[in-house]
Amino acid sequence: MSITSDTFQHLVDEHYQNLYRFAYSLAKNEHEASDLTQQTYLTYANKGHTIRDAKKVKSWLFTTLYREFLKLRRKQQKVTLQEEEELERSMPSAAPEVVHAMDAHSALDLLDQINETYRTPLTLFYLKDNSYKEIAAILDIPIGTVMSRIARGKTELRKRLTKKEKGTL
């Protein structure tokens, strides 16, 4: 499949916001989220011609972003504890856009408390951009597993929300 600049522009218009949201939910900071989103489109510009089915481009973009994030995290795990602490101190507690929209910050905080196994499928579910079948393809897990992880993630989420309402969290 060849990539014209119109196709590319359309794909950016269509998906970059939700890709950024997904990246932000994973990376938790604006700088890395922007980098992941840009890197995803750059990879598409270089390799997108290998995708035969145009319908699969959207989930390909999300898959690529997720893999880029996993790669980045593996690299970051090599950073020493001391460096990590310094890094955290130097990072803003939240990006300006998110502070401005406190609801988004609260939602991310809430999702962040969910077991990581359930968090990523749940975030993709809430972003509403991908069907559960596409989520399965993005995370490379069976469809049934996606459904059970979403259900378990939501159970955890409800528990957290109930505790929050009672003021015990």
Partner 1 sequence: MNEKDAQLILESYRPGTDDDSDPIFIEALKVAESDPELLHWLKKNESMDQEINKALQGITPPAGLKQSILDRAQFSTHSEKEHAPAHTRHPSWWQSPWTLSMAASLALMLFVAVTITKPREAEADWNVDRIMDSASEQLGQPAPPLSQRISIDTLKERLANRDLPQLSTRTEAERNIPATEGYTLLDWDGLPVERWTFSNEAGELYHLYAIDGETLNPQPSIPAPVLKQEGEIALAAWTAKDTLYVLAHQGTIETLKPMLDAIGQKAPTDATR
Residues forming contacts to partner 1 in the complex (CB under 8 A) are 3, 5, 8-9, 12-13, 16-17, 20-21, 24-25, 30, 33-34, 37-38, 41-42, 44-47, 49-52, 60, 95, 97-98, 100-101, 103-104, 106-108, 110-111, 123, 125-128, 131-132, 146-148, 150-151, 154, 157-158, 161
In terms of CB distance, is 6 or 116 closer to partner 1?
6
CA 148 – CA 154 distance, rounded (Å): 10
Q: How far is the CB of 101 from partner 1 (least distance, A)?
A: 3
d(CA 90, CA 52): 43
Give the DSSP H/E element, type plus range, for residue 65: helix 57-76
> Minimum CB separation from partner 1 for residue 90, in Å?
18
Q: Which is nearer to partner 1, 5 or 168 (CB)?
A: 5
Alpha carbon distance 43, 65 (integer Å)? 9
Task: Please give the full DSSP string across 7-52, using - where no structure is assigned.
Answer: HHHHHHHHHHHHHHHHHHHHH-SHHHHHHHHHHHHHHHHHHGGG--
Nearer to partner 1 by C-beta: 96 or 167? 96
- Residue 145 CA to residue 103 CA, distance in Å, equals 29
Q: Least distance from C-beta 108 to partner 1, angstroms?
A: 8
Query: Residue 85 Cβ, how far from partner 1 at the closest point, in Å?
Result: 26
